[in-house]
Amino acid sequence: MENKVIKRTASPIDRIDATGFSSRELNARIRELAHNGTERVELYNVYGQRYIGTDLDRPIEVKIFGTPGNDLGIFMDSPRITVYGNAQDGCGNTMNDGEIVVHGHAGDIAGLSARGGKIFIRDDVGYRTGIHMKEYGDKKPALVIGGTSQDFLGEYMAGGILILLGLNLQKEEAHRTNFIGTGMHGGVIYLRGSINDFQLGKEVGTAEPEEKDWQILRKFISEFADHFGYNAEEILEHKFIKLFPLWLRPYGRLYAY
């Protein structure tokens, strides 16, 4: 398998043909390159290898051509990953810092318990996206989704920014996501495209975005547009609604003391 690392001394890019690699082998290879000081790695023929990007604590650029497996960038701490393909479940799981850009769809629980960093998904996402994202002080994760999502978006959210753009919805077509923000007790969700009240969790309130919200939206939507070749202004022209937690302590009244 030695010959599968094609290292070109002249080029700053290290390329790995992942064909036939197990998750462990592929990650070991990337770790080794990172250890040797690489700045950019390109992975070809990725077929479901898991955990890519974990245990790398430098802002290395990783480009993935193919389909990375579950838990892409789990516990990740600063690399920038771009996927030319779809991500599976657990993309950005418990991520601490860095960036994941997916030119395609992502499966369930993208951004689960993320504590920092940014995730951009061009198309749709599965269930429980952004569940239990957190924040403290200036550590604040952001997750931007170009398409729409399955149920329980932003469930249990304790912090962070979640933006759902619905760019692939037809005119007048509503998001089909139910139970948005169930158990949410921190952070903020911005929705573009229409939504019915019954689709929202009991713990969220709605509001029109204010100027400080637009600042956030402009910042992240510009980045989103840059990644995927959209026009940020056009996206921003549309109506947005802001969802916020009604209570910091959603279950405070559940107990007898």
Read off the tokens for 42: 């390109």
126: CB partners within 8 A, 6+ apart: 89, 106, 107, 108, 109, 110, 149, 150
B/e letters for 185-204, b = 16+ CB within 10 Å, e = fewer, are bbbbbbbbbebeeebbbebb
Burial of 44 from C-beta contacts in 10 A (0-12 / 13-18 / 19+):
middle
CA-based torsion, 239, 107, 142, 205: positive or negative: positive
Smallest distance, Å, CB 95 to another protein?
Answer: 9
First to last CA, the chain: 63
Pairing between β-strand 142-145 and β-strand 158-164 as defined by DSSP bridges:
parallel
Q: For residues 24-63, which are near another protein according to CB under 8 A? A: 24, 27, 31, 50-51, 54-55, 57
Nearer Cβ to another protein, position 66 or 186?
Answer: 186
By CB under 8 A, name the one of 135, 150, 175, 180 that touches another protein: 135
249 is an interface residue for another protein by CB under 8 A = yes
User: In whole angstroms, how close is the CB of 74 to another protein at the nearest point?
Assistant: 5
| Least separation in angstroms between CB 119 and another protein | 15
Given the rule CB under 8 A, which of 8-16, 58-66, 90-98, 192-200 is the region that contacts another protein? 90-98
DSSP at 219 = H
166 makes contact with another protein (CB under 8 A): no
Q: How far is the CB of 66 from another protein (least distance, A)?
A: 19
Q: Which of 146, 159, 166, 181 binds another protein (CB under 8 A)?
A: 159
**Which residue's CB is nearer to another protein, number 24 or number 238?**
24
Per-residue binder mask for another protein (CB under 8 A), 102-131, x = binder: -------x--xx-x------------x--x
3-state secondary structure 84-109: ECCCCCCCCCCCCEEEEEECCCCCCC
* Cβ proximity to another protein, 109 vs 221, nearer residue: 109
- 186-192 and 240-245 beta bridge pairing: antiparallel
- Amino acid residing at 159: G
With contacts defined by CB under 8 A, name the span among 118-126, 164-172, 226-234, 245-253 that binds another protein: 245-253
| Residues within the interface to another protein (CB under 8 A) | 23-24, 27, 31, 50-51, 54-55, 57, 70-71, 74-77, 89-90, 93-94, 96, 109, 112-113, 115, 128, 131-132, 134-137, 139, 156, 158-159, 183, 185-186, 248-257
